[in-house]
Amino acid sequence: MPKTLLLKNAEVLVTMDSERREIPNGGIFAEEGIITAVGPTDKLPMSADTIIDASGQIVLPGLVNTHHHLNQTLTRNLPATQNKNLFAWLQLHYPIWSRINPEASRTSALIGLAELILSGCTTVFDHSYLFKSGNKVDFHIEAAKDLGVRFHASRGSMSLGRSQGGLPPDESVEDEDFILQDSIRVIDRYHDASYGALTRIVLAPCSPFTVSENLLKETALLARDKGVMLHTHICETFDEERHTLERFGKRPLEWMGESEWLGPDVWFAHAIHIDTQEINTFARTGCGIAHCPSSNMRLASGIAPVKDYIAAGIKVGLGVDGSASNDASNMLLETRQAMLLSRLRMGLRPPEGPHRYAQLPQSHPLRSPEWMTAREALELATIGGASVLNRTDIGALEVGRCADFFSLELNTIQYAGALSDPVAAIVFCAPQSAKTVVIHGRQVVSNGEITSINMEPVIRDHNQWSQRLLANG
């Protein structure tokens, strides 16, 4: 990593700082990966070990992905799963994912991470929970280090097989004592709690229908003893709601609360089917939400009440979710979808007068009157995601934060005619790949190409592993 870095001449520099400044002809100066100056180019030092000329480009804080499943790049677009909802989709995938070995796991992580980086993403949380056939979270961490991405890795888990009332087949789950011991191993080996850390560990049981109440409680105790965060899926579908009501007599969030899964060290993926009381619970306890609009649409799961979350002061970030339930790993695309899906939810609000939704309470998702703006969507993708991960060192371009940023060319076909507001253009218009990506002061994308790894052999190997997995099914 160069000791000093200067980015200069950006057409617009979007800071996402407390004043939400957008600086014409802006620039950044960083030392040892930390920003020491932000402002107009002519106010910055003119020399550095690395100098990036961003003329004709817009520069933004690195995007923060708060929910993903990297190994799913191996099973994108499977014909049998293209038209299934979540439970049926999972049941078709579990046997395939159980066969993912270390080599396939590493290549899938490299592919998913590289795709994210090229969309401007600099911080990635990956929710991996199926460790069979020798697969370990270690291989994902190694891949992230090789690419240079800031990485929150999960030691996820599934322990409740079909014979015990869970959704996964028994051969896909692990012993709970082993899960907890391996969680300790991974935390002790990799977790870095320091400011600017590139690697952190999260404990992340898969979902209410794949783990036992005992594992949830023991995982929460372990996470708090070790000082790491907690994550899982919640309230994604009505099937999940039916499962917890039938099994425990409780809605999913109530059940999670009784398992000690509420607090500022917890964030949940999806949180679609939520009522007003549960929104208040999130706000009161400080839980965060990973909003995954593309996956929610792809699997017909529903529309999360994101504007209601924001209005309640709840931490909300974006997640691309699984590479096989999206089927992309593109944070700019997710930012656009978040804005559009929020507007669709508003558009479903009943008009004045008699209507089939007329008896819905004002707080019901179908009655929300708020529009999401392009800049609000960008906030979710940057400073919002940082807050969900409890990080104050990323998500904005301001003095003291990490030098994580990316640039996009503005004089392109995609943005032609849209430059009266270039900041909004990158959300309203079709997403394009990043020109430059810098993570902790290190340039990992130059002229639209990954610089740390030759991706051509990775793509070839990845496609071969994907074919083998499917052929062995």
Q: Which domain holds residue 357?
A: 63-388
**Does some domain include residue 471?**
no
The reply to whether 302 falls in a domain is yes
Confidence class for position 370, pLDDT limits 50, 70, 90: confident
Q: What is the CATH number of the domain that holds 414?
A: 2.30.40.10
Q: Which of 339, 356, 388 represents a domain boundary (last residue)?
A: 388
92 and 26 part of one domain: no
Task: Looking at the structure, tell me whether residues 369 and 409 fall in a common domain.
Answer: no
The pLDDT of 146-154, averaged and rounded, is 98
Task: Look at residue 371 in the predicted model and tell me its pLDDT.
Answer: 85
Please tell me the predicted confidence (pLDDT) of residue 353. 42
Q: Is the pLDDT of residue 350 over 90?
A: no
Q: How many separate domains does the chain show?
A: 2
Residue for token digits 């995938």?
93
Compute the average pLDDT of residues 235-255: 88
- 192-208 pLDDT, tens per residue? 999 999 999 999 999 98
Regarding beta strands 449-450 and 442-446, do their DSSP bridges make them parallel or antiparallel, or are they unpaired? antiparallel
Same domain, 257 and 401: no
CATH number assigned to the domain comprising residue 129: 3.20.20.140
More confident residue, 242 or 56: 56
Confidence of residue 366 (pLDDT cuts 50, 70, 90): very low
* Tokens 């920003």, residue located: 35
Mean pLDDT highest for which of 87-91, 163-167, 355-359, 375-379? 375-379
Q: How many CB atoms lie within 10 A of CB 406?
A: 28
Of 55, 37, 56, 34, nearest in space to 47 by CA: 37
What's the pLDDT tens digit per position in 81-109?
999 999 999 999 999 999 999 999 999 99
If one counts every other C-beta atom within 10 angstroms of the C-beta of residue 432, the result is 18
Domain boundary among 337, 371, 388: 388
Residue 359 pLDDT more than 80? no
In which element (H, E) is residue 267 found?
strand 266-270
Lowest-pLDDT range of 55-69, 368-382, 406-420: 368-382
Kindly state whether residues 434 and 356 are assigned to the same domain. Answer: no
Is residue 457 included in any domain, yes or no?
no
The token pair at 359 is: 């008896």
Q: Which is higher by pLDDT, 104 or 346? A: 104
Q: Kindly state whether residue 461 falls inside one of the protein's structural domains.
A: no
Q: In terms of domains, do 114 and 204 share one? A: yes
Residue at 348 is within a domain:
yes
